[in-house]
Structure 1
Amino acid sequence: MRLLLVRHGQTPTNVDFLLDTAVPGPGLTPLGLRQAAALPRALADEDIDAVYASTLVRTQLTAAPLAAARGLDVIVRDGIRELSAGDLEMLPGDSERGRLYMRTGFAWAAGDTALRMPGGESGTEALARYDAVVAEAAASGASAVAMVSHGAAIRVWTAARAANVDVRFAAARPLDNTGVVVMEGSPSDGWKALSWAGAVVTPTGEAGPTGRPQPVSQRGAPVSGDRPQAGPKS
């Protein structure tokens, strides 16, 4: 299955660099709405059979234009919501304590899944809920699925599950709003990242699974405008 993991459009709390992970969360800024409207054209070459979104408002607003363009309903699932910030909720993501959020998430991706976000979920819980939605989509028989999710969740899940992406790669590459990670594989056979925000991902060699991006042109790229953040890209 081809799996397109799409970060939602810009929100007011993205602009303020806050760890905003609670349901239902804010809507989109005017820029975020334009980014969502650009997705159907940006993904025009993808034969998408299903469109998923998390239980947060921002992902559903982002997914709506893409689903409408394909004549599909948006399938809402809690499992692909953002990594819960717990006691770190609404802290600045680039503050000393706020940086603990991404350090914890990437520790999960590196294998320390028993570690718990302060006042929040463990890596075992977070990865399991994301796995369950991906498994549901794979079992549906769809050949290509778009899942509109969240920056930290996409980066951590990809680093944990893609054979050719490791924590160092994902940690160095925050996703802009409506950035896309394209995966291929299945829950049983494993996953490989094909591209990350428009750059082809290739293995660096036999020393490990670290990915390396190679620039590639992308027709109809989504409208952008928010700079990379030190926070969770939530």
Structure 2
Amino acid sequence: MLILLRHGQTTSNVGRALDTALPGAPLTELGQQQAREVGPELMDLYNPELVVTSEALRARQTGQLAFGSHFDDIPAVAGLQEITAGDHEMLNTPEAHEAYHGTVHSWFGGDSDVAIPGGEDAHQFLDRYRGGVAEALRGGHGSAVVVSHGAAIRMFAVRAAGIDPQFAVHNPLPNCRFVVLHPTATFGQWELVRWGDHS
């Protein structure tokens, strides 16, 4: 199983800033609490054998707080960071959110060539993110947790499991919730086991 876990709440989440560049904002006190609570939940549900995180500070903090008592080594893996906001980085205006999320939603529907201004297109995102996931799955671990980011997790899951784009649009992933995929088939035909509170 591949468990894609969104990081805990950050100061940028509170301010609704499009914070995608590394290293990014730290967790809030609530975000730290969310991370401490989700670790035992995932250990009970899936007993993961490996945990990796994106290189963002919030993901590394989440991984350590959630799983540090179980794993001596929680590596940060290149490629697993959030979809880049480009020219909209750290903006919190309705226009910036509409432009960023509108582009990501168009990727859900298969329009891979459209790029976020100053950022990346879907091809570039998937190339780097699939590389990071491959690192996590290398070695055939029974279950692996990847601590990552909301838009990135949804985009990857849509393409990995052929999920209805409208489902992904209308079901954002809250902080410290997760998507579970079973990567048993060709990419694009993976099994969706769980999406947030939907199973």
| Band of TM-score, shorter chain | over 0.9
TM-score of the pair, normalised by structure 2: 0.93
Larger relative strand fraction: 1
Q: Return closer, same or farther for 1:56/1:35 CA change in 2, 3 Å cut-off.
A: same
Q: Aligned residue for 2:30?
A: 31
Larger deviation: 3-12 or 106-115?
Answer: 106-115
Q: Aligned residue for 1:178?
A: 176
Q: Please list every run of at least 4 consecutive aligned residues from structure 1 whose deviation after the TM superposition is greater than 6 angstroms.
A: none
Distance in 1 between residues matched to 2:47 and 2:151, nearest whole Å: 26
Q: Return closer, same or farther for 1:14/1:187 CA change in 2, 3 Å cut-off.
A: farther
Quote the offset at 1:187 in angstroms.
Answer: 6.7
Q: For structure 2, which runs of at least 5 residues remain unmatched after alignment? A: none
Q: Is the 8 A contact 2:177 2:196 kept in 1?
A: yes
The two structures, once aligned, show a CA RMSD in angstroms of 1.5
Q: Aligned residue for 1:67?
A: 67
Q: Aligned residue for 1:132?
A: 131
Q: For structure 1, which runs of at least 5 residues remain unmatched after alignment? A: 201-234
Q: Return closer, same or farther for 1:54/1:187 CA change in 2, 3 Å cut-off.
A: farther
Distance in 1 between residues matched to 2:57 and 2:184, nearest whole Å: 28
Q: Is the 8 A contact 1:110 1:160 kept in 2?
A: no
Distance in 1 between residues matched to 2:186 and 2:69, nearest whole Å: 31
Larger relative helix fraction: 2
Q: Is the 8 A contact 2:9 2:28 kept in 1?
A: yes
**Where in structure 2 are the equivalents of 1:1-234 lying within 5 Å?**
2-45=1-44, 46-92=46-92, 95-163=94-162, 165-186=163-184, 188=186, 190-200=189-199
Q: Is the 8 A contact 1:138 1:186 kept in 2?
A: no
Classify the secondary structure of the residue corresponding to 2:99: helix
Quote the offset at 1:186 in angstroms.
Answer: 4.2
Deviation digits for residues 38-68 of structure 1 (CA, Å, limit 9, x no counterpart): 1222113212011111111000000003332
Distance in 2 between residues matched to 1:44 and 1:137, nearest whole Å: 17
Classify the secondary structure of the residue corresponding to 1:195: strand
Distance in 1 between residues matched to 2:194 and 2:102, nearest whole Å: 24
Deviation digits for residues 109-146 of structure 1 (CA, Å, limit 9, x no counterpart): 32222211111111101011111122222232111000
Question: How many residues matched?
Answer: 197
Task: State percent identity of aligned pairs.
Answer: 37
TM-score of the pair, normalised by structure 1: 0.79
